[in-house]
Amino acid sequence: MRLSSFFLPTLKETPAEAQIVSHRLMLRAGMIKQTAAGIYAWLPLGLRVLRRIETIVREEHNRFGFQELLMPTIQSADLWRESGRYDGYGKEMLRIKDRHERDLLYGPTNEEMITDIFRTHVKSYRQLPLTLYHIQWKFRDEIRPRFGVMRGREFLMKDAYSFDVDYLDARATYNRFFVCYLSTFRRMGLTPIPVRAETGPIGGDLSHEFHILADTGESELFVDRRLLDLDLTGRAFADDDEIGAFVKEVTDIYAAADEMHRADQCPVPPDDLVTRRGIEVGHIFHFGAKYSQPMGARITDPEGHEREVQMGSYGIGVSRLVGGIIEASHDDAGIVWPGSVAPFQVGVINLKAGDAACDAAAGDFYAKLRAAGVETLYDDTDERAGAKFATMDLIGLPWQVTVGPRGVKAGTVEVKDRASGEREELSIDAALAKLTAA
Ligand code: ATP
Ligand code: MG
């Protein structure tokens, strides 16, 4: 993509309304535009990141055999009357009437709809286990939308729903989500911390939130130091037993968010308890027959008995993650995208656009990267050098390549690693080899 034709409305000034760094940087980098309180348009640069995050979520879910479908944003109120949640949900739900005076709503979540789909088509344990997910916009009329996409009213969520014949199977599914979430967030360059969460009236211990650490996080976390030292990466599991053993090892270590933590009942000695702030990016939850019971989602088990299907739900804040990743990865100059979610991998800066030799060298370099399938943003504008560097740093692409008059004579370019700031003068071929291998 050539910057001269790319819609990238960057801002020089720091927007006054943005209180946290990710919101400021998303506005300054031209990623989003607020269209109403807590509602955003995703501009091309922002959308590229959002799509990359979606792709990682999708790939990791598919890897575990979870199946994607797509449910609508608009739902019928009748389903919510069946589960008993229509009146209880309160003002966070956006309620709509159609021309026939029928009650509709913009979905804040999809337990009812998925239970309806399930009960229509699945009758036997033989069709289980089944896990369905979608990545779809939600609306919650949050009392205090803030921090940009972090707490929006309209936001993109991945929500998954599992169906199992009994508690043991449901727990195995839950554990699979636990490790799926760890690998999903790790692929985005994040360090997720699973903490126990409220299970509500069902009780049990099958509810965890996944947080990323950031000083601006809305939750306070209380974590046994041992969890922070534990290596949560790179484990391969042969089967559900291995997954279960690993999840037990992790969840036996104390970690709770503020609403679950009781200082007087905490088993961790004060010296070993670390207090940090966290951003909730995911939540997994087993809730048994909470919806299958009132909505009559029943299956026959291997003994021929009818029983209510055991369910769980599993959310990831896809749009929140864009802000969350920036909170975790930025510096004074701007965003520092982890390669896996970066909107482009490489930014090529033509230091002297209009100079025939620079135009030829930079244009050729850009063409070769494109031909090699490397997503590249080519700054072919006639801005000042300082402004070009500032924009590249602001939008945070992993690699910057500067093509200038001096290097062109010598047949070299400068390659900068955005994260470390290290620069190298390389021959054009060496630079291409490095960037196409990365
Ligand atoms: P919170 O406590 O932050 O309001 P929640 O418990 O209401 O979250 P869930 O219903 O579990 O959230 O939704 C799943 C995920 O969706 C959350 O873990 C979070 O990452 C994301 N999410 C929830 N509300 C919002 C919002 N208003 N804006 C952006 N993302 C959100
Ligand atoms: Mg909420």
Could you report the per-residue pLDDT of 55-64, keeping only the tens digit for each?
Answer: 999 999 999 9
Measured in whole angstroms, the distance separating CA 187 from the mean position of its chain's CA atoms is 10
Span from the CA of 143 to the centroid of ligand 2 (angstroms) = 10
Residue located nearest, by CA, to atom 28 of ligand 1: 151
169 located within any domain = yes
For the segment 151-157, the average pLDDT, to the nearest whole number, is 98
4 located within any domain = no
For the segment 69-96, the average pLDDT, to the nearest whole number, is 96
Q: Is 21 exposed, middle or buried (0-12, 13-18, 19+ CB in 10 A)?
A: buried
| Lookup result for tokens 């009960």 | 119
Mark whether 70 and 210 lie in a shared domain: yes
6 located within any domain = no
Residues contacting ligand 1 via CB (< 6 Å):
109, 140, 142, 151-152, 155, 157, 280-283, 315, 317, 319-320
Residue 114 confidence class, pLDDT cut points 50, 70, 90 = very high
Strands 399-403, 412-417: pairing is antiparallel
**pLDDT for 385:** 97
Mark whether 358 and 393 lie in a shared domain: yes
Q: What is the pLDDT of residues 350-383, one digit of tens each?
A: 999 999 999 999 999 999 999 999 999 999 999 9
Contact 148, 31 (CB under 8 A): no
**pLDDT for 204:** 66
Span from the CA of 142 to the centroid of ligand 2 (angstroms) = 8
3 located within any domain = no
**pLDDT for 378:** 98
Contact 194, 209 (CB under 8 A): yes
Q: Which residues of 325-334 are buried (b: 16+ CB within 10 A; e: fewer)?
A: bbbbbbeeeb
**pLDDT for 17:** 86
Mark whether 226 and 291 lie in a shared domain: yes
Q: Which helix (H) or strand (E) holds 190?
A: none
Q: Which helix (H) or strand (E) holds 158?
A: strand 154-164
268 located within any domain = yes
Is the confidence at residue 223, as pLDDT, over 90?
A: yes
Residue located nearest, by CA, to atom 21 of ligand 1: 317
Span from the CA of 317 to the centroid of ligand 1 (angstroms) = 6
207 located within any domain = yes
Q: For 141, phi and psi rounded to 5 degrees?
A: -80, 70
Is the confidence at residue 183, as pLDDT, over 90?
A: yes
Mark whether 73 and 218 lie in a shared domain: yes
Q: Which of 219-228, 261-270, 275-284, 375-384 has the lowest mean pLDDT?
A: 261-270
Residue located nearest, by CA, to atom 23 of ligand 1: 317
Instruction: Give me the chain's average pLDDT, please.
Output: 95
Mark whether 41 and 166 lie in a shared domain: yes
Is the confidence at residue 438, as pLDDT, over 80?
A: no
Which atom in ligand 1 lies closest to the alpha carbon of residue 151? 28
Contact 435, 346 (CB under 8 A): yes
Is the confidence at residue 202, as pLDDT, over 70?
A: no
Mark whether 253 and 353 lie in a shared domain: no
Instruction: Please give the share of the chain, as a percent, with pLDDT higher than 90.
Output: 91
Residue after which a domain boundary falls, among 335, 360, 386: 335
Does the predicted TM-score (pTM) go above 0.95?
yes
> What is the secondary structure of 58-121 as a DSSP string?
HHHHHHTT-EE----SEEEHHHHHHHTHHHHTGGGSEEEE-TT--EEEE-S--HHHHHHHHHHH
Mark whether 372 and 259 lie in a shared domain: no
Is the confidence at residue 415, as pLDDT, over 90?
A: yes
The domain of 159 spans: 11-335
Q: What is the CATH number of the domain that holds 325?
A: 3.30.930.10
Mark whether 326 and 359 lie in a shared domain: no
**pLDDT for 39:** 98
- Number of independent structural domains in the chain: 2
**pLDDT for 271:** 93
| Lookup result for tokens 């026939």 | 100
Residue 233 confidence class, pLDDT cut points 50, 70, 90 = confident
Residues 6+ apart with CB under 8 A from 422: 416
Q: What is the pLDDT of residues 19-43, one digit of tens each?
A: 999 999 999 999 999 999 999 999 9
Mark whether 126 and 244 lie in a shared domain: yes
Q: Which of 44-53, 265-274, 417-426 has the lowest mean pLDDT?
A: 265-274
Contact 280, 260 (CB under 8 A): no
Residue 74 confidence class, pLDDT cut points 50, 70, 90 = very high
Mark whether 222 and 75 lie in a shared domain: yes
Span from the CA of 320 to the centroid of ligand 2 (angstroms) = 12
Q: How far apart are CA 32 and CA 154, in angstroms?
A: 13
Is the confidence at residue 234, as pLDDT, over 80?
A: no
1 located within any domain = no
Residue 427 confidence class, pLDDT cut points 50, 70, 90 = very high
Mark whether 352 and 297 lie in a shared domain: no
For the segment 167-183, the average pLDDT, to the nearest whole number, is 97
Residue after which a domain boundary falls, among 335, 354, 376: 335
Residue after which a domain boundary falls, among 308, 335, 362: 335
2 located within any domain = no
Span from the CA of 374 to the centroid of ligand 2 (angstroms) = 38
Mark whether 169 and 213 lie in a shared domain: yes
Residue of 280, 281, 286, 314 to test ligand 1 pocket, by largest number of atoms within 8 Å of CB: 280
Instruction: Please give the share of the chain, as a percent, with pLDDT higher than 70.
Output: 99
For the segment 304-331, the average pLDDT, to the nearest whole number, is 97
Q: How far apart are CA 65 and CA 113, in angstroms?
A: 21
Residue 333 confidence class, pLDDT cut points 50, 70, 90 = very high
DSSP state of 39: E
Residues 6+ apart with CB under 8 A from 305: none
Q: Minimal CA–CA distance to 59: which of 157, 194, 183?
A: 183
Q: Minimal CA–CA distance to 377: which of 435, 425, 437, 319?
A: 435
